[in-house]
Structures are given as structure tokens and as C-alpha cells.
């Protein structure tokens, strides 16, 4: 979104409100803020734990790294009147998934990165993780494509703790006691092996895996745990669930007796009272 459409006054008010709320309910711990460039376009690629983490990611970037956070936001969020007005006044970028407008949104993000020098936050997974242990999942290729076409750095950011505030799928937040929320930003992802090459689906897949590997490694450091050898694939998991439901439905259908069928009564050899 063009900078002239942003409102300094709205940005000031929003930042103060968010800071107050988050200092009240979280105990933030930030590491690696020096890896976020002080100026110029940069992609912030983060894992997605909870619907609350856009606030904590923005807090980390604005207070910790001293950069204004610009999000690519679902169009559904932009339909909420107050949110829509605030988002437009603070330079956020709406995205309509599965439509031609998604291409326009990527164009707006590219402009924000290359012309406005913005720090644009992306969730490469596209949604909150469904991994049973909340590790980062496989991701979509949009971030890799944008990075390779614009040449701006991709700074990986991992965080942990928001799931204690509002786990995915729940509606009532757990605000007290204050929750420890940890962040760690790493150095820009090394995408040099993918530069100056034709942008193919295979190339984008490889670059995306490199980005997610860095995010996962950072989260592993925060958690002090070993991540899974292979990231959780949400698309494949949904396909398996759908296949299992279809198989279950077919089994139930096969086990149902035919309409009009009767069970033979002992002693009549399966014949009715008329002897037929």
C-alpha cells in the first residue's frame, strides 16, 4: 500500500495500544533483532502458531527491531469495518486467496518492498500450524517467488508461547498469568543457489524448503528440542482424512441390509408363513 495513504496518527495510536496490551499479558524475550536490516525492503518470514501471533510478531518487529510491521492480511479480516480502516491507514496489504486479486496483492507487496523499502511480514505456511507438536509445516511458494524476483533479503523469525494464550481453534484467550513469549530472528536465508536461474516449480519448492528449514531450526533452538525429520504436510493430511471418511462411508453402506430384506427365522428354512 502506498505510503501516502498511511496515517502517522493512526500508526501512533495503534502502536501504543498494542504495546500496552502485550506488555500486560506477555513476558516477551527477543533475540536476533540485529539480523533485521535497519532500513530497506525486507521479508520477515515467520511461523504461525495462533491467531494472536500477528500482534506479538508486530510487537517484536516494531519495538525490538525498530521497523514498522506490514502484513499481508486475509481479505476476510479486511471485511471487519474498524479493522479495515486501521489496516488501510497503517499500510497493511489485503489478499484474496484463490483469485486474480491475489496476484495484485503480491504486486502490492513487491512495491512495498522495492519502492517503499518496507518490512513485510509473511506466514509461508499460509495458516496456523496443524502439526501435532506445533512445529512449522510445509509452506507455499509465494515468499520464495517474491524473494527471488525482488532480490530483497528473507529474515527467518521463529517464536514460541502464543499457543499458551490462545491455542488454535479455541475462542477464549488465557490472559493470566502473563505468558512467556520467545522470539528469535536469524540471519537472512541463503538463497544464492537459486538466483539467476529460471524460476520453475522445482526451484521454488527448494527455495521454500530452505526458508522453512531456517525457521524450524530457530524454533528448535528456542524450544531446546529436536524437530521432526520431515515437516508436517497439511495438504496431504487433509487428503488422507478425506479418503478415510470416504472409506468409512463405503464400509457402512456395504454393511447395511438391503431394503426389504428379511432375516430367516430358525425352523422355517428361510421361507415365509405361506410356504413360499
Query: What is the DSSP pairing of strand 69-74 with strand 42-46?
Result: unpaired
Q: pLDDT higher for 262 or 118?
A: 118
What's residue 75's pLDDT?
A: 66
What is residue 98's predicted lDDT score, i.e. its pLDDT?
Answer: 58
Which pTM does this prediction carry?
0.84
High-pLDDT (> 70) share of the chain, %: 83
What residues contact 53, with CB distance under 8 A and at least 6 apart? 46, 159, 162
CA distance 205 to 138: 10
User: Which of 75-84, 94-103, 180-189 is predicted least confidently?
Assistant: 94-103
Q: How far is 56 from 107, CA to CA, in rounded Å?
A: 26
Q: Copy the grid coordinates of residue 62.
A: 516494531
In this predicted structure, what is the pLDDT of residue 90? 81
Grid cell digits, residue 251 = 464400509
Q: How far apart are CA 163 and CA 166, in angstroms?
A: 5
Q: What are phi and psi of 45, to 5 degrees?
A: -105, 115
Residue indicated by cell numbers 502506498: 2
- The alpha carbon of residue 103 and the mean position of all alpha carbons in its chain are separated, in whole angstroms, by 18
DSSP annotation of 34: G
Contact 157, 60 (CB under 8 A): yes
pLDDT of residue 267 exceeding 90: no
Domain boundaries, given as residue ranges, for the chain:
3-234
Compare 16 and 73 and report the one with higher pLDDT: 16
DSSP class of 236: H
Q: Which CATH number fits domain 3-234: 1.10.1200.10, 3.40.1130.10, 3.10.350.10, 3.40.50.1950?
A: 3.40.1130.10
Give residue 8's pLDDT band: very low, low, confident or very high (50, 70, 90).
confident
Amino acid at each position: 500500500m502506498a505510503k501516502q495513504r498511511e496515517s502517522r496518527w493512526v500508526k501512533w495510536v495503534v502502536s501504543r495500544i498494542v504495546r500496552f496490551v502485550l506488555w500486560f499479558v506477555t513476558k516477551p524475550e527477543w533475540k536476533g533483532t540485529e539480523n533485521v536490516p535497519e532500513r530497506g525492503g525486507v521479508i520477515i518470514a515467520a511461523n504461525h502458531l495462533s491467531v494472536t501471533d500477528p500482534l506479538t510478531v508486530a510487537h517484536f518487529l516494531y519495538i525490538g527491531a525498530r521497523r514498522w510491521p506490514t502484513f499481508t492480511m486475509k481479505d476476510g479480516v479486511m471485511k471487519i469495518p474498524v479493522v479495515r480502516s486501521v489496516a488501510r491507514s497503517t499500510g497493511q496489504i489485503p489478499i484474496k486467496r484463490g483469485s486474480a486479486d491475489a496476484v495484485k496483492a503480491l504486486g502490492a507487496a513487491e512495491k512495498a518492498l522495492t519502492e517503499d523499502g518496507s518490512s513485510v511480514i509473511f506466514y509461508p505456511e499460509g495458516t496456523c500450524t496443524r502439526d501435532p507438536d506445533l512445529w512449522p509445516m510445509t509452506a507455499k511458494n509465494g515468499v520464495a517467488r517474491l524473494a527471488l524476483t525482488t532480490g530483497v533479503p528473507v529474515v527467518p523469525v521463529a517464536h514460541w508461547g502464543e499457543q499458551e494464550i490462545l491455542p488454535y481453534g479455541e475462542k477464549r484467550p488465557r490472559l493470566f498469568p502473563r505468558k512467556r513469549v520467545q522470539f528469535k530472528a536469524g540471519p537472512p536465508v541463503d538463497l544464492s543457489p537459486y538466483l539467476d536461474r529460471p524460476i520453475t516449480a522445482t526451484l521454488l519448492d527448494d527455495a521454500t524448503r530452505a526458508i522453512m528449514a531456517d525457521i524450524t531450526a530457530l524454533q528448535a533452538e528456542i524450544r531446546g528440542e529436536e524437530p521432526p525429520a520431515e515437516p508436517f504436510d497439511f495438504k496431504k493430511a487433509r487428503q488422507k482424512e478425506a479418503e478415510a471418511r470416504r472409506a468409512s462411508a463405503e464400509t457402512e453402506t456395504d454393511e447395511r441390509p438391503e431394503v426389504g430384506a428379511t432375516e430367516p427365522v430358525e425352523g422355517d428354512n428361510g421361507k415365509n408363513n405361506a410356504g413360499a
